[in-house]
Structure 1
Amino acid sequence: MNDQLAEDPRTILDRIQSQAIRHETPCGEGRMVWHEWDNSGGTAPIVALFHGGAGSWRHWIRTIPALVTSYRVLVPDLPGLGESDFPPDGDDAFAIAGIVADGIDRIVGADKTYEVVGFSFGGTMAACVGALGGKRVRSVTIIGSSGVGALGSAVNLEKVRHLEGQERRDTHRINLNRLMIADPAKIDDLAIEIQDWNTVRSRLRTPAISRSGAIMKAIDQLQSPLNGMWGELDAPANPKGPERVATLRAHCPEADIRLIPKTGHWAAYESADTVNAILLEMLARTRP
């Protein structure tokens, strides 16, 4: 990670993206864009990572290198976000998840099993894909997901699209600290670059989908183990974080749920080493 911090952010992103295979699958009459990292020649177990709202595959920039040594890693830009086109039913979590699940089948084959991991809004997608996939989905892991239990406090963000230069970067830094990263010292140039790229390409209104109840409906339909992680200082969850954990345990008593100390919403970035170690531990239990 120290090597990453010393590099230019765009160099880091370009380098990691250049190591991936790009796929396009249908999204209504448009396309859904995927990136696949695989060092195994297609023989490793498959894990799909779903990013958060107003995001892209870049939300997983510090997770992909940790997983690709053991897994075939598929990371989409979810419909209506990043490079992917807007879905036909942009307010229906299960309809969007159906597009995602179809994309996985087209890339890896409809007979393959896989794990799904979702951050924030991506947790809703992970749960819905898990419900649709049945026993083909070996496990579902949600990280910092909304829609579980009571709503937390509203997080007010500054508008950035009309800004330029240093003022734009400074405003991204403010928003990242309010919503995504608890420790201001961990908001580096890479985080700002990712935030800027993601936000200007965000079209799908994900908060309403996350709050629609779809994630809990999906969790109740899962046929596979459920794991969960939240940052101890997750801004969208606080002060209702403990209620979210209690709600998840009530619906799925065997779920493995962890709180990441001194960490905000974007835990996979802010506390990457800790989250990666826990995630690998969780995934290992259902590895074929």
Structure 2
Amino acid sequence: MTGLIERLRALATRRETPCGAGTMVWHVWGESRPGLPPVVLFHGGSGSWTHWLRNIQPLVAAGRQVIAADLPGFGDSAPPPSGGDADALVRPLADGLNVLLGGEPCDLVGFSFGGLTAGLLLAEHPALARRLVLVGAPAMGVTPDRQFELKAWRHLPSAAEQEAVHRFNLAALMLNDASLIDGLALELHIANLMRDRMPRRRLAHTDILARSLPRVRCPVFAIYGAHDALYKAWIHQLEDAFEAAAPDFRGLVLIPEAGHWVPFERPEAFDDALLTVLTA
């Protein structure tokens, strides 16, 4: 894992923007091109830019500049100046994108918690993006109750006990294919969890994204794994929910045999779907 991350990191330009008492870290690959806005990637909860490890190079190969954030409170980025949930990230993200992009709109792609955050951001700052792509985003008000339960791990005394819980949680929430749990997915998951400074997030279990999307002016696209653990049997209610919430909703793509972390689990199918909506 370390070699793959380091190779990608070595190819990137590291940028920093103000965030609370420290800075927010962004990684940039590729060059900007006229008529092709940068693709900005927001990772999921308890994650970092490495949630997109398998997707960055295909985007760059397609001619896009890619900017992957470590969201405030995750990865190498400082916590936001106040608050501990997605709404606290809006101001430092807006300020950071204005610094990086100079007021030009991007194509914004948000996975899970990052999708929720992207929706809140564009509801307040709609001019920041030319289009919004939501990937496995929660908080659409579709399910009557939580569809999964995770186990606690921080109190466990041994690394082996903690690792067993991490495997359980990856199966419960992130991945449909159990054969992918060991190896790279497990290593990334554990490394990112250790740097999560915002563990008390609750907005993902509300309908706040559905309530925010009416203020998002750009086209909205959605890509989900067909077996996303956030929704399970309710996954087919999502399209109607997006149609009702987003003024310019352009469609939902369901990736077969994929769970919640669809960019990692089915990277080829996901990359094809993402490049399609980015050129729509």
State the Cα deviation string for residues 125-170 of structure 1 (Å, max 9, x = none).
1112222332441100111111012334132235157455555444
Measured in 1, the distance between the counterparts of 2:204 and 2:90 equals 13
Which residue of structure 2 lines up, in the alignment, with residue 62 of structure 1? 54
Cα offset for 1:34? Answer: 1.1
Note if 1:22 corresponds to 2:11. Answer: no
Mean Cα deviation higher: 227-236 or 243-252 = 243-252
Asked if 2 retains the 8 angstrom alpha-carbon contact of 1:63 and 1:272, the reply is yes
- Which residue of 223, 227, 231 maps to 1:229? 223
Measured in 1, the distance between the counterparts of 2:198 and 2:75 equals 10
Measured in 1, the distance between the counterparts of 2:8 and 2:212 equals 32
Which residue of structure 2 lines up, in the alignment, with residue 5 of structure 1? none
Structure 2, unmatched stretches of 5+, are: none
Which residue of structure 2 lines up, in the alignment, with residue 211 of structure 1? 205
Letter in structure 1 aligned against 2:171: N
Which residue of structure 1 lines up, in the alignment, with residue 250 of structure 2? 255
Mean Cα deviation higher: 62-71 or 204-213 = 204-213
Count of residues in Structure 1 that have an aligned counterpart in Structure 2: 275
Measured in 2, the distance between the counterparts of 1:163 and 1:73 equals 40
Asked if 1 retains the 8 angstrom alpha-carbon contact of 2:50 and 2:188, the reply is yes
Measured in 1, the distance between the counterparts of 2:271 and 2:155 equals 32
Which residue of structure 1 lines up, in the alignment, with residue 268 of structure 2? 273
Letter in structure 2 aligned against 1:195: H
**Identity value in percent:** 33
Note if 1:107 corresponds to 2:100. Answer: yes
Which residue of structure 2 lines up, in the alignment, with residue 245 of structure 1? 239
Which residue of structure 1 lines up, in the alignment, with residue 137 of structure 2? 145
State the Cα deviation string for residues 166-207 of structure 1 (Å, max 9, x = none).
554444222211110111112241111110111011121364
Which 4+ residue blocks in structure 1 deviate beyond 6 angstroms? none
CA distance change for structure 1 residues 89 and 214 in 2, over 3 Å: closer, same or farther?
A: farther
Which residue of structure 2 lines up, in the alignment, with residue 85 of structure 1? 78
| Aligned positions of 1:30-45 closer than 5 A | 30-38=22-30, 40=31, 44-45=36-37
Asked if 2 retains the 8 angstrom alpha-carbon contact of 1:91 and 1:209, the reply is no
Structure 1, unmatched stretches of 5+, are: 1-8
Measured in 2, the distance between the counterparts of 1:30 and 1:135 equals 26
Cα offset for 1:31? Answer: 1.3
Letter in structure 1 aligned against 2:150: N
- Which residue of 64, 75, 93 maps to 1:71? 64
Which residue of structure 2 lines up, in the alignment, with residue 48 of structure 1? 40
The alignment partner of 2:122 has SS state of helix
Letter in structure 1 aligned against 2:45: G
Q: CA RMSD of the aligned region, Å?
A: 2.1
Cα offset for 1:76? Answer: 1.0
Measured in 2, the distance between the counterparts of 1:64 and 1:276 equals 9
